[in-house]
Chain A
Amino acid sequence: MKHLLSTKELDAATAVGILDVADDMAATQQREVKKLPTLRGKTVVNLFFEDSTRTRISFEAAAKRLSADVISFAAKGSSVSKGESLQDTAQTLEAIGADGIVLRHSSSGAPAVLARSGWVSASIVNAGDGTHEHPTQALLDAFTLRRRLHGDAGRGRDLDGVSVLIVGDILHSRVARSNVWLLATLGAHVTLVGPPTLLPHGIGDWPVTVGTDLDAGIAEGPDAVMMLRVQKERMSDAFFPSAREYAAGWGLNGARFRALPGRTLVMHPGPMNRGFEIASEAADSPQSTVREQVANGVATRMAALYLTLAGGAA
């Protein structure tokens, strides 16, 4: 595939294929020499219009382990404001000879605009665009789920029948959107729970169950609970009355965590607000996948870069 812009556009076979390549990449990471020659001579630019150290270093590690040359470009602002426009920045990178652009942007759809623009010939990997999608995060989440549930027998499998409860600020979450499409495509049952103010208007046709009662969601005994990071500044925008009230209603506190079956996985894309949306008791438990998600992120992003840049079929 030429670009990875969203999970909405992935069919099940392609998605499973990406997870299988990620499996291969993860296997190489168990070796003493982790570096593969696959992308030698290719240049990957991490173009970040929005700060995100975690995502950037994950992509950077992934590209370096594939022997690509990596350039990190922290651009400021967006066009029309005094910052650099997407077009000018992209054309600069094209002149430098970028083969791949990993784009993080605060404006939803910026990777799609860049991919369609004709400004660059590079492959585009969406590393998070506004409140739209964050496809590699969803892929690493699916990868993590498949590994935990099926172990080495996961290869070639989807997530048929797996139930996942996603909790928090759905409205502003690109992680939630990417997970909704990918998990549904892979056959999982997704339930979204959050305060009514943080559930998007117009999701009646999404392939999910929607609710506002976290305890009811927990009582269903899902296979995984994915807690989303909640920006505390949403409080000043009156999405909820106070941090305490949010935590009481939608935080995975100790009592709720203990009410979950022992098999339920606890996921979080990080960085966590401990004691707010998630209690340390949950985050640090054996059921937690938080650190695996980070490790799996590198393997999944290696797969994404390999498939888009080396022209492989997933």
Chain B
Amino acid sequence: MTTYLIAGATLADGRTADIVLDGGIVAEVGTGLSRAGATRVDAAGLLALPGLVDLHTHLRQPGGEGSETVLSGSRAAAAGGYTAVSAMANTDPVADTASAVEQVQALGDAAGYVTVRPIGAVTRGLEGTQLADLGAMARSRARVRMFSDDGLCVADPLLMRRALEYIGGLGGVLAQHAQEPRLTVGAQLNEGPVSAELGLAGWPAVAEESIIARDVLLAQHTGARLHVCHLSTAGAVEIVRWAKARGIAVTAEVTPHHLLLTDRLAEGYDARFKVNPPLRGDGDVAAVRAGLADGTIDAVATDHAPHPADSKSAEWSAAANGMVGLESALSVVHEAMVETGLLDWAGVERVMSLAPARIGDIRGQGEPIAAGSSPELVLYDPAVRRDFSETQLHGRSRNSPYLGRSLPGRVIATFHRGAPTVLDGALLPVEEVAARG
């Protein structure tokens, strides 16, 4: 295995250091290091962060290979600086059995670009009526620890209670897509001035907040762990803050797009901006930023949701919900949180790597770069700006809301298991990465 000497990188805490990757670990971190036979990577002016970890990724395989596969999504992830992703369960067939999650795990291992951790469905077929094979998935080779019906809410309060209890007993966490279904019948856009003007059925904040309020109380009652997916409203931040203050075992994630974009972007009915939960208002954006900065929201998760062009060029109500986000996430967090002074790079390291690895119990990920840590890292040039274009998308779909927008920063290299998946800003070939086994 090649040894790498990453020279002159800036760590999240501001120190400049050389980093040696050797023998499947970070062998040494210090200044003025040298290592015979090592491949040298000049990292002067580049930030070195532990590899990013995504808790919420739609890889679409099996069933949606036209829009993404485990391999293509893994490449998109590596290009964005990720070394681990969590594959959502809403595939076709649904990942609700041991064999289904093992298949996704095997595809991820074969691709080799990132650690792929399958998320198991909470209910069979995401139907919200019967628990999925939770124990079998937890005990399978995929060792599932996060369960979610994402795309759909576990709406039945009794079923939610049982699921929390059962998953808690497995040492796992239930990741809830908080959306009260009756309050969002036909919903198309955040309910407010923009939906009123555009004549699009409203998706009210209360539909998210009422479920989160119920669920934190259920988590308190059962003592189980709850994770809130893609939290998007100011009220939801307040509820989670309240729950944490009471000692309830709740964590929460926010997407990059909810940190940067608002519902005003829907004004031209361009369905690239259609997503669930919907883009919200300015006050919500300010609140989720503040919540992420003060730790109320633990993590940034992409909700990377690839869709074919046809389902995004349609009229708004017929178009699919979702945005791709793996390649742009770090730049968006840079713009929304770092350039605004709300987070420093240590904060970014926390919300994009350390916290998600802890929440998802993803081993060998999310460790601060130090001698002995896992050799998972990203080198990022924070000084450049780039016009975000399709050439920077590496998955199978093009539904990014940032195309045509200028974003700060650029991923220069990503190292996974001690070897590069991205080098000099370019993905390494599929065969080369797969051959590492």
Quick check: A201 and B197 within 8 Å, CB to CB?
A: no
**Complex Cα spacing A117 to B196, Å:** 24
Known contacts: A108-B316, A112-B269, A113-B316. The answer to whether A201 contacts B311 by CB under 8 A is no
Quick check: A79 and B314 within 8 Å, CB to CB?
A: yes
Determine which of A8, A110, A174, A200 lies in contact with B315 in the assembled complex, contact meaning CB atoms within 8 Å. A110
Known contacts: A112-B268, A201-B191, A201-B202. The answer to whether A78 contacts B196 by CB under 8 A is no
Known contacts: A108-B200, A113-B269, A177-B197. The answer to whether A130 contacts B317 by CB under 8 A is yes
Counting CB contacts under 8 A, is B251 at the interface? no
Residue of A78, A79, A109, A205 most packed against chain B (CB within 10 A):
A109
Residues from chain B with a CB closer than 8 A to the CB of A131 are 199-201
Quick check: A87 and B314 within 8 Å, CB to CB?
A: yes
Residues from chain B with a CB closer than 8 A to the CB of A129 are 199
Count residues of chain A with CB under 8 A from any CB of chain B: 32
Counting CB contacts under 8 A, is A31 at the interface? no
**Complex Cα spacing A113 to B313, Å:** 8
Residues from chain A with a CB closer than 8 A to the CB of B192 are 201-202
Determine which of B196, B311, B314 lies in contact with A202 in the assembled complex, contact meaning CB atoms within 8 Å. B196
Counting CB contacts under 8 A, is B434 at the interface? no
Give chain B nearest CB distance to A301 CB in angstroms: 21
Quick check: B315 and A132 within 8 Å, CB to CB?
A: no
Counting CB contacts under 8 A, is B198 at the interface? yes
Residues from chain B with a CB closer than 8 A to the CB of A78 are 314-315, 317-318
Q: B181-199: which have CB < 8 Å to A?
A: 188, 191-199
Give chain B nearest CB distance to A170 CB in angstroms: 9
Counting CB contacts under 8 A, is A96 at the interface? no
Quick check: B197 and A107 within 8 Å, CB to CB?
A: no
Determine which of A174, A177, A202 lies in contact with B191 in the assembled complex, contact meaning CB atoms within 8 Å. A202
In the complex formed, the residue of B with least CB distance to A83 is B318
Against A, the Cβ 8 Å flags (1 = close, 0 = not) of B240-279 are 0000000000000000000000000000111100000000
Determine which of B196, B313, B315 lies in contact with A109 in the assembled complex, contact meaning CB atoms within 8 Å. B315
Counting CB contacts under 8 A, is A105 at the interface? yes
Quick check: B199 and A202 within 8 Å, CB to CB?
A: no
**Complex Cα spacing A36 to B164, Å:** 72
Quick check: A174 and B193 within 8 Å, CB to CB?
A: no
Give chain A nearest CB distance to B430 CB in angstroms: 32
Counting CB contacts under 8 A, is B310 at the interface? yes
Quick check: A108 and B204 within 8 Å, CB to CB?
A: no
Quick check: B195 and A86 within 8 Å, CB to CB?
A: no
Quick check: A130 and B314 within 8 Å, CB to CB?
A: no
Give chain A nearest CB distance to B329 CB in angstroms: 28
Known contacts: A79-B310, A130-B199, A132-B198. The answer to whether A105 contacts B315 by CB under 8 A is yes
Q: A41-93: which have CB < 8 Å to B?
A: 78-81, 85-87
The bracket for how many chain B residues form the interface is 20 to 34
**Complex Cα spacing A131 to B269, Å:** 13
Residues from chain B with a CB closer than 8 A to the CB of A203 are 193, 196
Counting CB contacts under 8 A, is A20 at the interface? no
**Complex Cα spacing A79 to B270, Å:** 15
**Complex Cα spacing A60 to B268, Å:** 28
Residues from chain A with a CB closer than 8 A to the CB of B197 are 8, 177
Quick check: A202 and B318 within 8 Å, CB to CB?
A: no
Quick check: B199 and A79 within 8 Å, CB to CB?
A: no
Q: A96-142: which have CB < 8 Å to B?
A: 105-110, 112-113, 116-117, 129-133
Determine which of A107, A116, A204 lies in contact with B318 in the assembled complex, contact meaning CB atoms within 8 Å. A107
**Complex Cα spacing A108 to B197, Å:** 10
**Complex Cα spacing A85 to B198, Å:** 21
Quick check: A174 and B318 within 8 Å, CB to CB?
A: no
Residues from chain B with a CB closer than 8 A to the CB of A85 are 310, 314, 318
Quick check: B196 and A86 within 8 Å, CB to CB?
A: no
Against A, the Cβ 8 Å flags (1 = close, 0 = not) of B286-321 are 000000000000000000000000110111111010
In the complex formed, the residue of A with least CB distance to B191 is A201
Residues from chain B with a CB closer than 8 A to the CB of A202 are 191-196, 202
In the complex formed, the residue of A with least CB distance to B194 is A202
**Complex Cα spacing A129 to B193, Å:** 18
Quick check: B199 and A177 within 8 Å, CB to CB?
A: yes
Quick check: B315 and A86 within 8 Å, CB to CB?
A: yes
Known contacts: A79-B310, A204-B193. The answer to whether A108 contacts B318 by CB under 8 A is no
Quick check: B193 and A107 within 8 Å, CB to CB?
A: no
**Complex Cα spacing A177 to B201, Å:** 14
Give chain A nearest CB distance to B19 CB in angstroms: 48
Quick check: A80 and B199 within 8 Å, CB to CB?
A: no
Determine which of A8, A81, A113, A200 lies in contact with B196 in the assembled complex, contact meaning CB atoms within 8 Å. A200
In the complex formed, the residue of B with least CB distance to A204 is B193
Quick check: A205 and B193 within 8 Å, CB to CB?
A: yes
Give chain A nearest CB distance to B320 CB in angstroms: 8
19 contacts between A and B (CB under 8 A): A8-B197, A78-B318, A79-B310, A80-B318, A105-B315, A106-B317, A107-B315, A108-B188, A108-B269, A108-B316, A109-B199, A113-B269, A116-B268, A116-B270, A130-B199, A202-B193, A202-B194, A204-B193, A206-B196
A113-B315, A200-B195 are known contacts; what are 19 more A-B pairs with Cβ within 8 Å? Answer: A8-B197, A78-B314, A80-B314, A85-B310, A86-B318, A87-B310, A108-B200, A109-B198, A109-B200, A109-B316, A110-B316, A129-B199, A130-B317, A131-B200, A174-B199, A201-B196, A201-B202, A202-B194, A205-B193
The 5 closest A-B pairs by CB, nearest first: A109-B269, A132-B199, A131-B199, A200-B196, A107-B315
